[in-house]
A = this chain, B = another copy of it.
Amino acid sequence: MLLCENPLARLRGFQKLTSTENALQTWLNTLQIKTNKETTVPLPEALNRILTEDLIATENLPRFDKSAVDGYAVKAKDTLGASQFKPALLQLTTSDTVNTAEAKQVWTGNAIPKGADAVVMLENTQKRNEQIEVWTQLAPSENVSKTGEDIKKGEVAVKAGTRLNPYHLGLLAALGNSKVKVADKPKIAIIATGNELAEIGSKPAENQIYESNKIILSAMCRELGAEPLDMGIAKDNITEITEKLKKALLKADAAITTGGTSVGGLDLVPDAVNNIGKPGVIVHGVAMRPAMPTALAAVDGKALIILSGNPVAAVIGFEVFARPLICKMLGMPNTEQRPTVKAALTRKVATALGRKTFVRVKVIQKNGEYYAEPVSARGSGAISTMTKANGFVIVPENREGITENEQVTVHLFGDLEQAN
């Protein structure tokens, strides 16, 4: 395992911090994650699920030559030289076949009748009893959607590993699929640890706070298409944590804990993880800010992510480690990226050399330009900074900050218009 020497990592136990990239890679390599099992669901339920195999078109789309406009199906050669001053005169027919000097009315989407090879638009014609004047010359195939023009039989319509959006579902429907194979939702157990935590809905003691990490991380799991399992709160007690972890790994495909990972107190959760199986903790201490005390572990092939108890650190730790894990479990070829915007930083931000720093910002739009305003916060405990912000800027390890007006790339996690 490669370690990144870090002059600012002065906390005991963290003299050496692993870079985020090395931490992630070392951990994923140890895990050797297999894609989750697949399940067949009706098409409407496949929204935002991940396709597990290339979907091949079993027929052409369109299935037949069809009209792209409202008008008359004709033989293109019958319109040779036609203009408003010298219209071509064609006989209307209602038969299945269009013969020489004939035209048949068609609406958008109708099959092109036998014998016809082009469609003249309504507005380029004039009806005269049982005949039409055609005012324009047509090329063969003009205004015709040709068989297979959209997708050809045998082509890959949607690739394996794609998150299905409404348009993918539409394409699958157009190809006649009423069901589709998607990845099972990975089950992620979530455990909060800490004597100071009270469940929402309960009455906290005077020195307790409401637990909020489980609900945040559960929602982040759901957004990615995983199924969170709420395993409750464990006291700062190695036996209780160990029991919860064992239960979690029986029920779930992976587990996330919050709290009990800092060097400050005992390393309760890392110690508990090392108790329950091999290889245990793989990385502890990452060259990032916040979320430095994050630990990554594996037990019997199942992934564990040991996050800080501070909500913002937990969120960033999830972003950097749980997101790629879940995407891999879902069989996605790459980690799904958040949308980004480029914006000018409204004031300078100082960051620590040797740490990849995640700066929360609020992006605002002014006269068509984007500006990113750093959201100040002391420490990483203030969850309101995540609701005030709508994105984060990643400052690399080799920078000591960002200057005012510098163009930065913002990874958006909130609505651009509605940061509040």
Q: Which residues of A contact B (CB under 8 A)?
A: 10-12, 43-44, 47, 61-64, 66, 68-71, 107-111, 122-123, 145, 149-151, 157-159, 162-163, 165-171, 173-178, 194, 196, 200-201, 204, 206-207, 209-213, 215-220, 222-223, 230, 262-265, 309-311, 315, 333-334, 336-337, 339-342, 368, 378-379, 381-384, 386-387, 409, 412-418, 420
Contact = CB atoms under 8 A, between A and B. Distances in A.
Contacts of A209: 62-63, 66, 109, 174
B167 A262 contact: no
A394 B382 CA distance: 39
Given A166-B217, A171-B384, 9 more contacts: A11-B123, A165-B414, A167-B386, A168-B387, A170-B213, A170-B311, A170-B386, A173-B200, A173-B212
Contacts of A175: 210
Contacts of A70: 11, 262-265
Contacts of A382: 145, 149-150
A307 to B, nearest CB: 13
Contacts of A200: 43, 173, 176-178
Contact of A378 (B68, B309, B418): B68
10 closest A-B pairs (Cβ-Cβ)?
Answer: A70-B264, A166-B219, A167-B386, A178-B201, A170-B216, A173-B212, A339-B339, A68-B379, A174-B212, A178-B200
Copies of this chain assembled into the complex: 2
Contact of A171 (B169, B387, B418): B387
A220 B209 CA distance: 39
A393 B64 CA distance: 31
A165 B378 contact: no
A310 B62 CA distance: 12
A260 to B, nearest CB: 10
B169 A379 contact: no
A190 B24 CA distance: 45
A310 B110 CA distance: 12
A207 B66 CA distance: 9
A409 B177 CA distance: 34
Nearest to A70: B264
Contacts of A417: 334, 336-337
B165 A309 contact: no
